[in-house]
Amino acid sequence: MLERLSVPVERRGREVLLRWTKPTARAFQLLDVFLHELGHHHDQMTTRSRREAARGEPYAEEYARRHGRAIWEAYLNAFGL
């Protein structure tokens, strides 16, 4: 996602510095963080008990990747970077 958003990454020894702009931070929040959390919700709502997200982090990560790819062009057309 960082490559796709062209976020500069600078390694400083054991630390990593990411150089966000407002548009890249906004895109990351929507296309990665929000979709990941939505994946947890989808997991919970499609589990028989509807009480817990049974498939966990791998499911949420895949959900974010799959849907992020699907809306990438539309996001860029609407908001740009």
Question: What are the structural domain ranges in the chain?
Answer: 21-79
pLDDT value at position 3?
92
Whether residue 40 contacts residue 50, with contact meaning beta carbons closer than 8 Å, is answered with: no
Summarize the confidence of residues 22-26 as an average pLDDT. Answer: 95
- The CA dihedral of 39, 43, 46, 49, to the nearest 10 degrees, is -150
Summarize the confidence of residues 15-41 as an average pLDDT. Answer: 94
**Terminal CA-to-CA distance of the chain, rounded, Å?**
13
Mean pLDDT value across the chain: 90
Structure confidence by residue, pLDDT tens digits, 44-72 = 888 777 667 678 899 999 999 999 888 99
